[in-house]
Structure 1
Amino acid sequence: MNNKRIALLGLGTIGQVVFDKLVASTNGAWQLAWVVVKHPERHQTVLLPTGAQLTTDWRRAVEDPTVDVVIELISGIGVAKEAVTSALLHGKQVITANKDLVATAGTELDRLAELYGGALTYEAAVAGGIPIIRTINEGLAPDRIRRVSGILNGTSNYILTAIDQEGLSFDAALKEAQAKDFAEANPTKDVTGIDHLSPRLFAAAKEWGLKIKLLASTWESRGQLNYQVAPVALNPSHPLYQVDGVTNAVVIDSEVPRPTSAPGRAVRRRPTAS
């Protein structure tokens, strides 16, 4: 079997870890062919493996007919969407950790993969290091899933835990998360939905033995698919009640009773890169 030739787009926080893993791997099933960066001057000390090339032109890498797999770690929607679209139009396999891209254009890109014989895989974009997409698609394929609920954002969960357990204000908890590299410099997308919660709400929840968590949930009702992302007060019997700090977890309720709670540390580099 021929080696899969890989084009790695992005050498930032996640990209660097993926690069290191690919270079250190002794698995002969793949070969790193291209590394695409925006600022080559920042990567002058990067030691590329034999045969790999560094470029700022994603088209050279993505449209190289010898490239089989494109790993997109650019972030954002603009260039990332152009590159992924091109890769799928050329029938290539795409791996992405880009939440924004999957959320805004996932259905469109999935159709391109189906039409042109490629593949779009985005396990790394969902719940950090938890392999929940494969679990649902393969492990639970025979079951009828009634509800999926999860704590999918380690940053927000860390902040909520700090407010609840340490009595910090929202601003103080956010600064602590940023100092520990659990939150971005611009944390807007991670904290929207919890930044308006009042200290009184946490005090009331604690008095009743509840914990406030930011839950993403989807469920079927009367043939309709419903979904919600919102702060929820959980009681101690809920399987996500004990999920604190930067940990993510997903719980699946299906017709066949089985333990389907999958926890994982979500922030930031290594679980996603893995």
Structure 2
Amino acid sequence: MTKQMNIGLLGFGTVGTGVLQIIQDHQDKLAHQLGCGVSIKKILVNDLNKERQVKVTPEQLTLDPQEVLDNPDIDVIVEVMGGIEDARSYIRHALENGKHVITANKDLMAVHGSELLQLADKQGCDLFYEASVAGGIPILRTLVEGLASDRITKIMGIVNGTTNYILTKMTKEGRLFDEVLQEAQALGYAESDPTADVEGLDAARKISILGTLGFSMNLDLDDVSVKGITKVTTQDLNYADQLGYTMKLVGIANRSGDKVEVSVQPTLIPHEHPLASVDDEYNAVYVYGEAVGETMFYGPGAGQLPTATAIVSDLVEVLKNKRLGVNGNSVVIPQFNKKLQTDDEIFSKYFLRIHAKDVPGTFSVLTTLFDEQGVSLEKILQVPLNQGKLAEIILVTHAVTKKNYETVIEKLNDIDVVVEVKSSYRVEGEMKK
């Protein structure tokens, strides 16, 4: 039996340091599970002389990726360097060399995951990426293995800790977006350039991965309809709360028949829904299965050790497969061809806030427009503004097609009594009677 399994590490930042720390601290447990020791043989770094949080020898570090990728003594490559093109090239090289790969790179897997998985299948190698979505929550393996016998119909997820932290503080403390964003950056929850987080791109990459696995259908980043949180106001959150809702940036992958819809957007959820209580930097994924019903998976969505834990769990899976001689058999090629729902096939409720002239006949004009598009109203709230000259009208619709609702929004902007459409958000989940 093999006495030692050697790992090559691409990248040695926060997560890479965490991987080494867990492997060093958990040697006894790993040896018990795998029947052999685990060692980090080589680590690709940018600076050989940088001070490290964990102890490494000079012989372990290299500036040359080939010393990791072409090393015959290395069994598994762990990629935690980030970025897309270099990571893609290195992973392809590793797979072509017959090495198994673990990555935490959601950007890479959202864009090139299908290509790399096909290559892994061809080479008889494992390619695992549990840490790419929701940090320490084992959601990918749950979809592929734990719920393998079920038919998943819907996945809803809070999968970006930065935006969840911002919305939590705005909701509970009444603070402005820009102020909370600066705080999140100071705490390390948000990058200096927060665009990928606050505009929903990070969550879009993750929901495309979840949808691909949950529906066994190749979904690309371009298939995701994306709207971020930069225009969310405290007024929106206050009115949502009055109507019984909490706002979250939610990734939604929904299947109806053989067609799917994938989106990321600020979404109103009833206070009593489990996702509504997920606060601060935490993540949660809500899964609907035809057999199991509704399940939710909750935990830290990022951070050094939660992410590193997911990576080492993948590592354990690779090494167990190697011991059993079944590496490469876990790659499952998607079963179904991609079919996306059109706008007249996507149904949802919506929250709408408008400023209108407070004059006789205004509401009659509005209800006529809604009736023409087959949009009925579930909730109505009206507040006088500007000494009675304007009215702020807040509406929640019943379920309507996206096409009809967007037609309503377009026509509202052309009606004389409407001064401005202030905001519009999707509504998910049913309130308890």
Given candidates 226, 229, 240, the residue that maps to 2:264 is 229
- The offset of 1:208, in angstroms, is 1.3
Alignment match, 1:209:
244
The corresponding residue for 2:158 is 151
Secondary structure of the residue aligned to 1:42 is coil
**Residue number among 18, 41, 44 corresponding to 2:49 in the alignment:** 41
Counterpart-to-counterpart distance in 2, 1:119 and 1:221: 32
User: Which of residues 282, 289, 306 in structure 2 aligns to 1:271?
Assistant: 306
Consecutive unaligned residues in structure 1, runs of 5 or more = none
Measure the CA separation in 1 of the matches of 2:66 and 2:271.
52
Tell me, in whole angstroms, the C-alpha distance in 2 between the residues paired with 1:120 and 1:64: 18
Conserved 8 A contact 2:152-2:290: yes
**TM-score in terms of structure 1 length:** 0.94
Larger radius of gyration: 2
Aligned to 1:241, the other structure's residue is in SS state helix
- SS of the residue aligned with 2:274? coil
Give the distance between the partners of 1:210 and 1:52, measured in 2 at CA: 56
1:19 matched to 2:26? The reply is no
SS in 2 for 1:40: coil
Q: Secondary structure at the match of 1:57?
A: coil
Aligned to 1:244: 279
Q: Is the contact between residue 128 and residue 268 of structure 1 (CA under 8 Å) also seen in structure 2?
A: yes
Q: Does 1:6 align with 2:7?
A: yes
Equivalent residues of 1:149, 1:250 under 8 A apart: yes
Deviation of the 1:200 alpha carbon: 2.5
The separation in 1 between residues aligned to 2:288 and 2:294, in whole angstroms, is: 9
Q: SS at the partner of 2:275?
A: coil
Paired residues, what number?
273
DSSP-derived class of the 2:251 partner: strand
Q: Report how far residue 52 of structure 1 moved.
A: 5.6
Q: Name the amino acid aligned to 1:268.
A: G
Q: What letter matches 1:213 in structure 2? A: K
The residue aligned with 1:31 is 39
- 1:219 counterpart residue number: 254
Deviations 1:29-64, CA, capped at 9 Å, x for gaps:
322111110122214786326x96210111210121
What amino acid is aligned across from residue 220 of structure 1 in structure 2? R
CA distance in 2, matches of 1:162, 1:44: 34
Look up the SS of the partner of 1:185 in the other structure.
coil
Residue 34 of structure 1 aligns with an amino acid whose one-letter code is K
Distance of aligned partners of 1:109 and 1:133 in 2 relative to their CA distance in 1, 3 Å threshold? same
CA distance in 2, matches of 1:258, 1:164: 30
How far the C-alpha of 1:24 sits from its partner, in A, is 2.5
Q: Which residue does 2:363 correspond to in 1?
A: none
Q: Shift in Å at residue 248 of structure 1?
A: 0.3
Alignment CA distance shift 1:220-1:39 (3 Å): same
Q: Report whether the alignment pairs 1:74 with 2:75.
A: no
Q: Which moved more, 1:167-176 or 1:27-36?
A: 27-36
Output the CA distance in 1 between the equivalents of 2:176 and 2:274. 26
- Aligned partners of 1:159 and 1:173 also within 8 Å: yes
Counterpart secondary structure, 1:211: strand
Structure 1 residue 269 displacement after superposition: 1.6
Counterparts of 1:43-122 in structure 2, within 5 Å, are 43=51, 47-48=55-56, 53-122=60-129
Which residue number in structure 2 is paired with residue 256 of structure 1? 291
Instruction: Decide whether aligned partners of structure 1 residues 158 and 68 sit closer, same or farther in structure 2, where only a CA change above 3 A counts.
Output: same
Matched-pair identity in %:
40
Match runs of 1:162-173 below 5 Å: 162-173=169-180
CA deviation profile, 1:151-190 (whole Å, cap 9, x unmatched):
0011110001011011111111111112222122222111
Paired residue secondary structure (1:104): helix
Cα contact 1:6–1:70 (8 A) shared by 2: yes
* CA distance in structure 1 between the partners assigned to 2:52 and 2:157 by the alignment: 41
1: CA distance, partners of 2:8 / 2:51: 16
Question: Which range is displaced more, 258-267 or 154-163?
Answer: 258-267
3-state SS in 2 of match to 1:8: strand
Bigger shift: residues 102-111 or 26-35: 26-35
**Alpha carbon RMSD of aligned pairs, Å?**
1.8
